[in-house]
Amino acid sequence: MAAAAAVAESAATDSTVVVKGGKGAVDTSSDIEYVQYSSELQLPGIMGLISGELSEPYSIYTYRYFIHNWPNLTFMAMQNDKCVGTIVCKLAKHKSGPYRGYIGMLAVDQTCRKKRIGTNLVRRVIQAMIAENADEVVLETEVTNTHAISLYEKLGFARDKMLYRYYLNGVSAIRLKLWLR
């Protein structure tokens, strides 16, 4: 729970982020603007980035399921009107238990990595989930994606479960969980 509070606080006080007009934020060190999803016109940029960076193929219906039901949990990192980072999530009751946030997709353009874009996107979505009373946040990532695992663990996520041969490419996944309450 303390880790979640630290993530939310750091999202709100990150010194590299300046809020502009309440709609987005600019990372002044690299001219990255963070915006929340607001229009179907943003969907091609999100889809193009994710299909280029992630191994799992997603149909238009998968994107629309997440984005149309939880537009407030989709954020983009924009650089010169190009989507260079995105996070797509949902928030729903899990079985009869906790109110669970789920990070379905996180992608950062290879040319823009090592600029804390992924970290900033995850922090923003966690902050949005906390504002909606989420109890926990979960996600899966390929066990071979050590950079993603490291990013999430630095943000307070813990390894929860191994999912063997989870992805279509045959790679296993690790489920990570962040308890918020």
Condensed to tens digits (0 to 9), the pLDDT of residues 153-175 reads: 999 999 999 999 888 888 899 99
Is residue 46 within 8 Å of 158, Cβ to Cβ? no
Chain mean pLDDT for the chain: 86
CA distances from 110 to 23, 83, 98, 147, 155 (A): 26, 12, 35, 12, 21
pLDDT exceeds 90 at position 13 = no
Q: What is the pLDDT of residue 94?
A: 87
Token look-up 């629309």 returns 64
Q: What is the pLDDT of residue 19?
A: 28
* Nearest C-alpha neighbor of 56 from the set 179, 163, 178, 137: 163
**Angle (deg, nearest 10), helices 146-154 and 117-131:** 50
